[in-house]
Structure 1
Amino acid sequence: MLKKLLTSACLIALSTQLHALELDKKNINYIGPIAEHSQLKPYETSQQAAILANLATELTKNSTNISIFGNELTWQSLASVKQLTVPGIQALKFSVAVERFTQGKMTFAGIDKGTLFINGEPKTLSDKSIELSLPTGEYHLLLLAEQVVDWNKVTLDFTGKAEHDKVSLITESNQLSAKQLFDATTISNLSLAPDAQAMVITSIHYDDKNGDKAVKTTQLRDAKYQVRYSWDNGEASGFTWSPDNQSLIYVINGQLRSLDRKTLASKVITDKLDGASNFAFFDPQTLIFSWYKSAPSNNGLTKHYQGLEDRWSYARNSNQVYLLDITSGLIRQISSQSHSHSLEDFNAERNTVLLSRNPIDYQAPPHMLTQLVEVNLADNSETLIGQYRTFNQARYHKNGLFISAGPDFSQGAGRAIDASLLANNYDGQLYNVSFDGKKVTALSKEFDPAIESFSVLNNKDAIVSVTEKDTKQLYLFDSKKSQFKKVNTDLDVVERFAISKDKNPQLLVTGSNASSAQRLQYINLKKNNAKTLWDSHAEFYANSHIAKLEEFNFTNQDGVEISGRVYVPHDLDQNKKYPALVYYYGGTSPVTRGFTGRYPFNLWAANGYVVYVLQPTGTTGFGQDFSAKHVNAWGEFTANDIMQGTQAFLKSYPYVDAKKVGNLGASYGGFMTMLLATKTDMFSASIAHAGISNITSYWGQGWWGYLYSGEASKNSFPWNNAELYSQRSPVFHADKVTTPLLLIHGDADTNVPKGESHNMYTALKLLNKDVELVEYKGADHQIITREQRFHWWNTMLAYFDAKLKDQPQWWDSLYPKQ
Structure 2
Amino acid sequence: MKFSAPWCHQNKLVKRAATLLTLSSLSFAAIAAPLDKSKIQFIGPLAEDMQLKPFQTPHGETIINNLLPQLQADSESFSVFGKKQNWQPFNKINALTLGGLQALKFNIETTRFTQGTLTLKGLEQGQLFINGELQTGDKNSYKLALNNSTHTVLIVAQQVANWRDVTLDFAPKSEVDKITLSTSQTKRLSAKQLFDAPTISQLSLAPNAKQYVTTTRTYSDKTQNQANTVTVLKDADDHTLYRFEAGQPSNIIWSPDNQYLVYLLNGELKQLNRKNFSIKTLANDLEGANGFTFYNDTSLLFSWSKSPESTNSLTKHYKGLQDRWSYARTTSQIYMLDTKSGLTKALSQGPLSYSLEDSNSNRGKILMSRPVMAMQASTHPETELVELDLKSSKLSSLGKFKTFNLAKYTNKDIYVVAGPDFKNGAGRALPKAMLANNYDGQLYLLTEGGKNVKALSKQFDPAIGQLHVLENGDALIKVTEQDTQPLYLFDLSKQRFKKLNTGLDIVEKFSYSHDRNTEILLSGTNALAPQQLKRLNVSKNKTDLIWDSKPSSYANTRLPTLEEFNFKNKHGVEITGRVYIPSNLDKTKKHPALVYYYGGTSPVTRGFTGRYPFNLWAENGYVVYVVQPTGATGFGQKFSAQHVNAWGDYTADDIIEGTQAFLNKYNYVDSKKIGNLGASYGGFMTMLLATKTDIFSASIAHAGISNITSYWGEGWWGYLYSGEASKNSFPWNNSELYSQHSPVFHADKVTTPMLLLHGDSDTNVPVGESLTMYTALKLLHKDVELIEYKGADHQIFARDKRFNWWNTMLAYFDKKLKDEPQWWDSMYKND
Contact kept, 8 Å, 2:247 with 2:265, in 1: the verdict is: no
Contact kept, 8 Å, 1:217 with 1:233, in 2: the verdict is: no
What SS does structure 1 have at the residue aligned with 2:624?
A: strand
What SS does structure 2 have at the residue aligned with 1:472?
A: coil
Superposed CA deviations along residues 105-151 of structure 1, whole A, max 9, x for unmatched, are: 01111112221111111112312210000010011111112222211
The corresponding residue for 2:262 is: 249
Amino acid at match of 1:398: N
Q: CA deviation at 1:62?
A: 6.2
Task: Find 2:52's aligned residue among 32, 37, 40.
Answer: 40
The separation in 1 between residues aligned to 2:715 and 2:222, in whole angstroms, is 37
The separation in 2 between residues aligned to 1:143 and 1:672, in whole angstroms, is 47
2:770 equivalent to 1:757: yes
CA spacing shift, 1:193–1:286, aligned 2, 3 Å: same
Q: Which moved more, 1:239-248 or 1:728-737?
A: 239-248
The corresponding residue for 1:353 is: 366
Contact kept, 8 Å, 2:186 with 2:558, in 1: the verdict is: no
Task: Find 1:155's aligned residue among 156, 167, 185.
Answer: 167
The separation in 2 between residues aligned to 1:528 and 1:542, in whole angstroms, is 29
The corresponding residue for 1:711 is: 724
The corresponding residue for 1:90 is: 102
Residues 310-709 of structure 1 aligned to structure 2 (within 5 Å): 310-360=323-373, 366-709=379-722
The corresponding residue for 2:34 is: 22
2:93 equivalent to 1:75: no
What SS does structure 2 have at the residue aligned with 1:732?
A: helix
What SS does structure 1 have at the residue aligned with 2:316?
A: coil
2:115 equivalent to 1:103: yes
The corresponding residue for 2:4 is: none
Q: CA deviation at 1:435?
A: 4.8
Amino acid at match of 2:219: Y
What SS does structure 1 have at the residue aligned with 2:64?
A: helix
**TM-score under structure 2 normalisation?**
0.95
Contact kept, 8 Å, 2:522 with 2:534, in 1: the verdict is: yes
The separation in 2 between residues aligned to 1:478 and 1:639, in whole angstroms, is 39
The corresponding residue for 1:56 is: 68
Residues 205-244 of structure 1 aligned to structure 2 (within 5 Å): 205-232=218-245, 235-244=248-257
Superposed CA deviations along residues 192-231 of structure 1, whole A, max 9, x for unmatched, are: 1111111111110100001001101111111111211111
What SS does structure 2 have at the residue aligned with 1:813?
A: helix
**TM-score under structure 1 normalisation?**
0.97
2:119 equivalent to 1:124: no
* Identity between Structure 1 and Structure 2 (%): 58
2:180 equivalent to 1:168: yes
Contact kept, 8 Å, 1:361 with 1:368, in 2: the verdict is: no
Contact kept, 8 Å, 2:320 with 2:377, in 1: the verdict is: no
Q: CA deviation at 1:451?
A: 0.6
Q: Which moved more, 1:105-114 or 1:539-548?
A: 539-548
Q: CA deviation at 1:535?
A: 1.1
The corresponding residue for 1:3 is: none
Q: CA deviation at 1:32?
A: 2.2
The separation in 1 between residues aligned to 2:455 and 2:69, in whole angstroms, is 58
Superposed CA deviations along residues 135-191 of structure 1, whole A, max 9, x for unmatched, are: 100111111122222111111121111111011111223200101110000001111
The separation in 2 between residues aligned to 1:47 and 1:549, in whole angstroms, is 48
Amino acid at match of 1:441: K
The corresponding residue for 1:5 is: none
The separation in 2 between residues aligned to 1:363 and 1:14, in whole angstroms, is 70
The separation in 2 between residues aligned to 1:234 and 1:165, in whole angstroms, is 48
Contact kept, 8 Å, 1:29 with 1:93, in 2: the verdict is: yes
Residues 251-290 of structure 1 aligned to structure 2 (within 5 Å): 251-290=264-303
The separation in 1 between residues aligned to 2:778 and 2:406, in whole angstroms, is 47
What SS does structure 2 have at the residue aligned with 1:288?
A: strand
CA spacing shift, 1:124–1:632, aligned 2, 3 Å: same
What SS does structure 1 have at the residue aligned with 2:359?
A: strand
The separation in 1 between residues aligned to 2:501 and 2:378, in whole angstroms, is 38
Amino acid at match of 2:201: S
What SS does structure 2 have at the residue aligned with 1:566?
A: strand
Q: CA deviation at 1:16?
A: 4.3
2:117 equivalent to 1:66: no
The separation in 2 between residues aligned to 1:11 and 1:774, in whole angstroms, is 33
Contact kept, 8 Å, 2:334 with 2:356, in 1: the verdict is: yes
Contact kept, 8 Å, 2:331 with 2:351, in 1: the verdict is: no
Amino acid at match of 2:334: V
The separation in 1 between residues aligned to 2:113 and 2:140, in whole angstroms, is 23
Runs of 4+ in 1 over 4 A off after TM superposition: 10-17, 361-365
Amino acid at match of 2:339: I
Contact kept, 8 Å, 1:98 with 1:136, in 2: the verdict is: yes
Amino acid at match of 1:178: A
Task: Find 2:151's aligned residue among 133, 139, 162.
Answer: 139
Q: Which moved more, 1:493-502 or 1:729-738?
A: 493-502
Superposed CA deviations along residues 265-324 of structure 1, whole A, max 9, x for unmatched, are: 222222232322222221122111111222211321111110111100011112111111
Contact kept, 8 Å, 2:406 with 2:418, in 1: the verdict is: yes
Gaps of 5+ in 1: 1-7
What SS does structure 2 have at the residue aligned with 1:784?
A: coil
Amino acid at match of 2:133: E
Residues 705-744 of structure 1 aligned to structure 2 (within 5 Å): 705-744=718-757
Q: CA deviation at 1:234?
A: 5.4
Superposed CA deviations along residues 746-780 of structure 1, whole A, max 9, x for unmatched, are: 00000000000000000000000000000111000
What SS does structure 2 have at the residue aligned with 1:814?
A: helix
The separation in 2 between residues aligned to 1:418 and 1:154, in whole angstroms, is 78
CA spacing shift, 1:774–1:593, aligned 2, 3 Å: same
Superposed CA deviations along residues 703-744 of structure 1, whole A, max 9, x for unmatched, are: 000000000000000000000000000000000000000000
Superposed CA deviations along residues 71-93 of structure 1, whole A, max 9, x for unmatched, are: 43332222122122222322111
The separation in 2 between residues aligned to 1:408 and 1:478, in whole angstroms, is 24
Amino acid at match of 1:428: G
What SS does structure 2 have at the residue aligned with 1:232?
A: coil
The separation in 2 between residues aligned to 1:178 and 1:486, in whole angstroms, is 34
The separation in 2 between residues aligned to 1:458 and 1:12, in whole angstroms, is 76
Task: Find 1:791's aligned residue among 793, 804, 808.
Answer: 804
The corresponding residue for 2:13 is: none
What SS does structure 1 have at the residue aligned with 2:295?
A: strand
The separation in 2 between residues aligned to 1:688 and 1:558, in whole angstroms, is 28
Q: CA deviation at 1:364?
A: 8.2
Q: CA deviation at 1:575?
A: 0.6
Q: CA deviation at 1:15?
A: 4.5
Superposed CA deviations along residues 542-584 of structure 1, whole A, max 9, x for unmatched, are: 3111111101000101111100110011111111000000000
Superposed CA deviations along residues 581-604 of structure 1, whole A, max 9, x for unmatched, are: 000001110000001000000000
Contact kept, 8 Å, 1:103 with 1:160, in 2: the verdict is: yes
The separation in 2 between residues aligned to 1:59 and 1:323, in whole angstroms, is 54
What SS does structure 1 have at the residue aligned with 2:322?
A: helix
CA spacing shift, 1:802–1:14, aligned 2, 3 Å: closer
RMSD: 1.8
Amino acid at match of 2:372: P
Amino acid at match of 2:636: G
Q: Which moved more, 1:319-328 or 1:751-760?
A: 319-328
Superposed CA deviations along residues 424-448 of structure 1, whole A, max 9, x for unmatched, are: 0000000000252110000000101
